[in-house]
A and B are shown apart, each in its own frame.
Chain A
Amino acid sequence: MSIDLIIYLLGGLTIGSALMVIISKHPVRSVLYLILTFFLISANYIMLNAQFVAIVNIIVYAGAIMVLFLFVLMLLNLSKENEPKTSLLVKVSALISGSLLLLVLLAVFKDASFLSIENEVSNPNHGLVQNLGKLLFTKYVLPFEVSSILFIAAMVGAVLLAKRDKNIIE
């Protein structure tokens, strides 16, 4: 029972801090809430016995990507004043369509019968690095290796876009 309570509490906190990401006026605060959200998501992973995914989530998202986000925001120094104005019509229509989507999803998830994967989750060893590594290098070796194409394309792209050319002075 207490584990259920913890799970609900964590879920509520996660949703709350994710909401704060959107509600916060100041971009830097939004990013800080997003970092908090990542931590809470990691906590959820730990509750599912996926320690490796949890810690990698922290290292990669909270530790590296969000630092770059903060970096850019701090250098741009965005504030409330120069935020672009959105018209009321856009806001209202966004609200209506968003709420409709939420309604549909809630209705679906309320009665959804998720396939039970309890056995796997309750096995404390299934999130270990060894098991993950074995799966990644045997059963799922192809997607694992093919994703290297994705990463190299992204890296080449980043260099291509970010490198300052000598002949462009602007």
Chain B
Amino acid sequence: MEAIIILFSTGIVSLFIAMTRKPILVLLTALIGVTVTAIVMSINWYTPMQWVKYDGIETDYFTIIYGATATLFSFLFILIGYSKFSKEVYHTGDYIAILIFSLCGALCLFSFTDLFMFFIGLEILSIPMYVMAGSNKKNLLSSEAAMKYFFTGSFATGVLLFGIACVYGALGTFQLKEMSEAIAAMKNSSALLQVGMILILAGFLFKVGAVPFHFWGPDVYSGSPNVVTGFMATVVKLAAFCGFLRLFQLGFNGLDGFFVEILIAVSVLTMFVGNLSALRQTKLKRLIAYSSITHVGYALICLLVKNEHTPAYLWTYFFAYGFSIVALITVSMIVNDENDDIDRYKAFARTNPFAGFVMILALLSLAGVPPLVGFFGKYLVFSSAIEQYPVLIIIALINSGIAIYYYLKVILTAISKDDNAEKSTVSPLHAIVLSISMFGLILGGFVTFWVN
């Protein structure tokens, strides 16, 4: 809670500081605010603070780990985006503040214990994203992305709310704890509750972009400004997954199993559709979009196996995935190409060895190659489910194999020879972010061991 308050004040202060028309001050404010948030959260780890007492929010260890991860990624994305944000002096504060507000929503989703905070958190997370998707006003695709995301997103919110209403009608409470108690006390399962849960599940699948509800994904990802794409792929996905995992684990705990079939089907479909579509993509951000759909398919396996380790495995997965996305988005900012063609990255690793190296690392980590952090994520998720759902894991492994093909294609493009290729300039901020994500990619595996 303290973290949310600090973040919110940071957002407001950076809005006001933006009136000086000095972007660097805004950046510094935001970075200081986000750092203070992270420090406060880590203090919470040892001695829980009790400034504000409300039973709608509860800080546990996973809240802090997830919160720190989301804060770290937001920090990196603000750094990456600064070169773009500072070009429009009048709006620098707006962009940064909106990203920070969205992070506030993510923090709500990491710690809610009743459906009020869950819904408000989800909305605080999404609405800034609708705006940011359209923030590149010169580009028609960006406006299209914002419109699509907003319309489909608000429809999904409607479905989710209807589901919540049904669940409330069946259980008569918004508190997660009371909900699971009410479910445990029920003699025979109620159809109203099940329909409500299915509708909530549909809302969730939309928010993370799983297959029957994935159509907004590629258009929104490719139309939005690069930083926003990255933010959506990491922080928003992490928050949405965590929020719904909390809801299903804490709220619907007594009701295991009745939508397992749905989840399995969705997971398999998501993997295949994401992968097979990604094979034919020629643009980097569309590729990222489809590959993120695939990764959602893998991560859905976590929701199938619900035990006390699940949050940790899910966290590891998104921690690993996030660093890859950060690196790829930074590289795409360095290349700075309007069309975003993969051909444009030809010989990139030769002209910019360091950036190219990190890019290759990121792609390998996405593919799940052993020493890198991506491997640990996949390993933990798959191994947790192998006993219960062996066929599903085999399908997931096959898909990982398919995925290597298109990741390798990008890597090959990046290291191929091209005499006309020019060296792109890497700004110091981007270099910092690249080195951080390099460390994350290589050493992240140890962090995950420590956490687990």
A interface residue numbers (CB < 8 A to B): 104-105, 107-109, 111-115, 117, 140-143, 146-147, 149-150, 152-154, 156-161, 165, 168, 170
Contacts and interface: CB of A to CB of B under 8 A. Distances in A.
Contacts of A150: 105, 120, 123-124, 127
A157 B94 CA distance: 8
Contacts of B192: 108-109, 112-114
Given A153-B102, A157-B98, A146 B169 contact: no
B255 to A, nearest CB: 16
Contact of A157 (B12, B108, B131): B131
A1 B151 CA distance: 42
Interface string B1-30: 100100010011001000000000000000
B274 to A, nearest CB: 23
Contacts of A109: 192
8 contacts: A112-B170, A112-B191, A142-B52, A143-B120, A149-B104, A152-B11, A157-B131, A160-B95
B94 A149 contact: no
Interface in B87-128: 88, 90-91, 94-95, 97-98, 101-102, 104-105, 108, 116-117, 120-121, 123-124, 127-128
A157 B127 contact: yes
Interface stretch (B133-141, B365-373, B385-393, B443-451): B133-141
Nearest to B134: A161
Contact of A165 (B101, B105, B137): B137
Instruction: Give 5 closest A-B pairs by Cβ, nearest first.
Output: A157-B131, A115-B172, A153-B101, A142-B54, A143-B116
Contact of A153 (B98, B134, B172, B190): B98
Chain A CB within 10 Å, residue with most, of B116, B146, B194: B116
Interface string B392-424: 000000000000000000000000000000000
Contacts of A112: 169-170, 190-192
Nearest to B91: A160
Given A114-B169, A160-B95, 13 more contacts: A108-B194, A115-B171, A117-B172, A140-B116, A142-B117, A147-B120, A150-B123, A152-B12, A153-B102, A156-B15, A156-B131, A157-B132, A158-B131
A115 B54 CA distance: 26
Nearest to A104: B195
Given A142-B57, A165-B88, A156 B52 contact: no
A165 B190 CA distance: 55
Nearest to B57: A142
Contacts of B146: 161
Contacts of B97: 156
A115 B88 CA distance: 54
Chain A CB within 10 Å, residue with most, of B8, B91, B124, B190: B124
A74 B198 CA distance: 39
Nearest to B104: A149
Given A146-B108, A146-B117, A160 B191 contact: no
B127 A142 contact: no
B254 interface: no
A146 B124 contact: yes
A160 B131 contact: yes
A41 to B, nearest CB: 14
A155 to B, nearest CB: 10
A105 B162 CA distance: 11
Contacts of A158: 131
B105 to A, nearest CB: 7
A161 B192 CA distance: 40
B130 interface: yes
A72 to B, nearest CB: 14
A119 B303 CA distance: 39
A115 B116 contact: no
Nearest to A109: B192
A105 B195 contact: yes
Contacts of A156: 15, 94, 97-98, 101, 131
Interface in B177-226: 190-192, 194-195
A114 B54 CA distance: 28
B56 A149 contact: no
Contacts of B135: 160-161
Contacts of A161: 131, 134-135, 137, 146
Nearest to A115: B172
Contacts of A117: 172
B200 to A, nearest CB: 14
A81 to B, nearest CB: 22
A2 B286 CA distance: 60
A142 B120 CA distance: 10
B194 to A, nearest CB: 8
Contacts of A153: 98, 101-102, 124, 127-128, 131
